[in-house]
Amino acid sequence: MNAQHPPHRVLQARKRIALIAHDHKKAELIEWAVYNKTALSRHELLATGTTGKLLEDALDVPIKKMLSGPLGGDQQIGARIAEGKVDVMIFFWDPMEAQPHDPDIKALLRLAVVWNIPIACDRATADFLMTSPLMNQEYRAILPDYNMYLHRSI
């Protein structure tokens, strides 16, 4: 790795945004999305199953829908993050209720950090993210260097 040119990937001006919400947070995400409809419509949107259907109905914009989160949708979005096919994740998760697929949720959040993508887990952070000038321009995201990990002695 060259210190002056670290590994990176370019996030285009039109971002690929994953939208996810637990059951008790779906109404809040829908309300937030409707408020941000104009900004969101500039981007490619994908979501877990039920959330995607609700968003598509509320926004009247196409949403690429994965499976429902507990049925593998969280893992599908995680795979897309690892493949470089998700640029931003808005995930309104419920901190007050245990989920049957908690390990999948933790893995999804972990992958977002591993691949250095912006994450918003609440409305205030989502507002900051969506109003950032970086949301509508090309951005060079520095990727962590995992060479030492990949080439460690086992």
Catalytic residues: 74
Annotated binding residue 51: yes
Q: Is 78 annotated as a binding residue?
A: no
50 is in an annotated binding site: yes
49 assigned to a ligand binding site: yes
Q: Is 26 annotated as a binding residue?
A: yes
Q: Is 101 annotated as a binding residue?
A: yes
131 belongs to an annotated ligand binding site: no
Query: What is the torsional sign of CA 68, 131, 95, 23?
Result: negative
* 85 touches 115 (CB < 8 A): no
DSSP 150: H
| Backbone angles phi and psi of 68, in degrees to 5 | -60, 145
41 is in an annotated binding site: no
Tokens at 99, concatenated: 């989920």
CA nearest neighbour of 42 among 145, 104, 130, 150: 130
CA–CA separation, 5 vs 89, rounded Å?
Answer: 26
Distance CA 58, CA 7 (A): 39
Per the annotation, binding residues for substrate are: 22, 26, 48-51, 68-69, 101
Per the annotation, binding residues are: 22, 26, 48-51, 68-69, 101
